[in-house]
Amino acid sequence: MELFVAQNIVKQYYKYTALDNVSISVKEGSIFGLLGPNGAGKTTLIRIINQITAPDSGQLFFKGRKFEPDDIYKIGYLPEERGLYRKMKVGEQVIYLAQLKGLSKHDAVKRLKYWFEKFEIFGWWDKKVEELSKGMQQKIQFITTIIHEPELIIFDEPFSGFDPINVDLLKNEILNLKQKGSTIIFSTHNMDSVEELCSHITLINKSKNILSGEINEIRNHFKTGIYRITFSGDENVFNSKFKDIFEIIDMDIKNFNHKTIKMHVKTQLNNNQILSLLLPEVSIISFEEVVPSMTDVFIKVVKN
List all residues 6 or more positions away from 51 whose beta carbon is below 8 Å from its beta carbon. 69, 72
Give yes or no for residue 185 having a pLDDT over 80: yes
Q: With 80 as the cut, is the pLDDT of residue 83 above it?
A: no
Candidate from 66-75, 135-144, 252-261 with smallest mean pLDDT: 252-261
Task: Summarize pLDDT for 4-30 with one digit per residue, the tens.
Answer: 999 999 999 988 999 999 999 999 999
Dihedrals phi, psi of 115, to nearest 5 degrees: -70, -35
3-state secondary structure 160-221: CCCCHHHHHHHHHHHHHHHHCCCEEEEECCCHHHHHHHCCEEEEEECCEEEEEEEHHHHHHH
* Domains of the chain: residue spans and CATH: 2-220 (3.40.50.300), 223-292 (3.30.70)
Helix (H, G, I), strand (E, B) or coil at 4: strand
pLDDT of residue 236: 84
Instruction: Calculate what percentage of the chain has a pLDDT beyond 90.
Output: 69
pTM: 0.89
| 129 compared with 81, residue with greater pLDDT | 129
Given a cut of 70, is residue 71 above it in pLDDT? yes
Q: What is the pLDDT of residue 256?
A: 63
pLDDT at 63: 93
pLDDT for residue 146 is more than 70:
yes
pLDDT in tens, 205-232: 999 999 999 999 999 999 999 999 999 8
Position 270 pLDDT exceeds 80: yes
Residue-wise pLDDT tens digits, 41-57: 999 999 999 999 999 99
Tell me, what's the pLDDT at 268? 86
Residue 163 has pLDDT above 90, yes or no: no
